[in-house]
Structure 1
């Protein structure tokens, strides 16, 4: 396997890898995946990355162990001042289990360090149910959330950073923090976010997000101390009508926002 910078005319294969990986590992609809792929890895977007001296864009190319040679993985990172940020990492499902993800991650982070990065962070779309576990294997911690607009979709990125490092994102300067404005129908009350359901006030724990296809779900409690769980809140429409199946998957009864459980058991070690 070789890690190298791609050529501009390889954009079509890069998009194929990205789409295959997202289809396997992301809780997004096919339409959402296609839109994100087409925007972020279009021919001109790939060419722009290759021409940007602050961007590290690499692909993994398989060798003789697989018939022919093919791009099997993609990674992109960016340097802003003394901060390095890994934004995207994809491995084609057919090529997983060979350490490609680890090789790509180590290559991009080492390159960013060599170029002057003193600290590193990694952003992972909330909908990437397997990517979170992969990042946590490198001793990074979930430090912050950012809401970003990609292909006309409002999506949430989890920010993973080294312990005790400020997770502010230099290359996402247009992104806004996930704030009270992202909680429809909720009201601020003495520093808490509350909802009223059939005459009962419940409290939303913003520190307990669960990934959803349209927006996050949040655990709700009956008391301000967050000790007695009430249920869940949908940040897409503001509903408390959330059901859970026997696989611990959530679904909003009002808007259809759905959830795929992310846990240590769900993590796919074939990324490494």
Structure 2
């Protein structure tokens, strides 16, 4: 179990509070700018930060059991955070982001955040943890490999209209697929391949156990496969109205 406040080498790790929203947004903006300034225009980053880390969005996520925010504080300043989607009943968790302020990188803060995040997810009943990293992010891929994760697959993702390869990592030894019998069809839900939803994550569902033939998406909010995606890749569950949120990008793991 992770204590409410854990300290390591002068860094305090704790669950985020409403008063941390401004610091979370600042760190996200600085981290994205430092990591993607040569890939994405400033206005794209600014729009993403405002949409993902606006006051109402983060406050709502802090108030739900489906999202976990841990922050790293040094000298009274918020210098990093992790953001994870929690699906304890599955029981799975996806690390969406680990952000560290550029001025505090190369100090082990990312590693500390990851370890405390894993411990907190375990405390919440999560047994399987996944994370996604762009193939071109050498430090990000190396970060997870050095911390006991293994690559299970890769897929295409789109950033600012350009296509990139994204690697999917899971904790070593974890089962990747969960079998579901739907009528006369057997589907294989890949809990390591998800899309963020307004209520809960969507997980990719395959018609084969090798995960090569995508059948559709599994809504973890209502355990339904009845959903639809339009040509703009807007995904919505027909049973509960859970909707796919904007595409996330991999974080800066330093």
User: TM-score w.r.t. structure 2 length?
Assistant: 0.59
Partner of 1:78: 85
* Candidates 33, 38, 57, aligned match of 2:69: 57
Cα RMSD for the two superposed structures: 3.1
1:88-99 to 2 correspondence within 5 Å?
Answer: 88-99=97-108
State the alpha-carbon separation in 2 of the partners of residues 95 and 148 from structure 1. 29
1:13-162 to 2 correspondence within 5 Å?
Answer: 13-26=23-36, 27-63=39-75, 69-80=76-87, 81-125=90-134, 128=137, 130-146=139-155, 157-162=166-171
Q: Deviations over 1:197-232 (max 9, x none)?
A: xxxxxxxxxxxxxxxxxxxxxxxxxxxxxxxxxxxx
Task: Give the C-alpha shift of residue 10 in structure 1.
Answer: 2.6
**1:47 and 1:126, CA in 2 relative to 1: closer, same or farther beyond 3 A?**
farther
**Whose strand proportion is higher, 1 or 2?**
2
Partner of 1:236: none
3-state SS of paired residue (2:120): helix
Task: Give the C-alpha shift of residue 145 in structure 1.
Answer: 3.5
State the alpha-carbon separation in 2 of the partners of residues 79 and 110 from structure 1. 13
User: TM-score w.r.t. structure 1 length?
Assistant: 0.55
**1:45 and 1:132, CA in 2 relative to 1: closer, same or farther beyond 3 A?**
farther
Task: Give the C-alpha shift of residue 174 in structure 1.
Answer: 4.5
**1:34 and 1:131, CA in 2 relative to 1: closer, same or farther beyond 3 A?**
farther
3-state SS of paired residue (2:16): coil
**1:127 and 1:22, CA in 2 relative to 1: closer, same or farther beyond 3 A?**
farther
State the alpha-carbon separation in 2 of the partners of residues 152 and 84 from structure 1. 28
**Structure whose CA Rg is larger:** 1
State the alpha-carbon separation in 1 of the partners of residues 203 and 40 from structure 2. 20
State the alpha-carbon separation in 1 of the partners of residues 157 and 202 from structure 2. 8
3-state SS of paired residue (1:169): strand
3-state SS of paired residue (2:125): coil
Report the count of equivalent residues. 176
Q: Deviations over 1:22-56 (max 9, x none)?
A: 22223333233222222221112211220111321
Any runs of at least 4 consecutive aligned residues in structure 1 with deviations exceeding 4 A, and if so which? 125-129, 146-157, 173-177
State the alpha-carbon separation in 2 of the partners of residues 175 and 146 from structure 1. 14
Uncovered stretches (5+) of structure 1, i.e. residues with no partner: 64-68, 178-267
State the alpha-carbon separation in 2 of the partners of residues 174 and 95 from structure 1. 33
State the alpha-carbon separation in 2 of the partners of residues 169 and 153 from structure 1. 25
Task: Give the C-alpha shift of residue 131 in structure 1.
Answer: 2.0
The answer (yes or no) to whether the contact 1:87–1:124 under 8 Å persists in 2 is no
**1:44 and 1:157, CA in 2 relative to 1: closer, same or farther beyond 3 A?**
farther
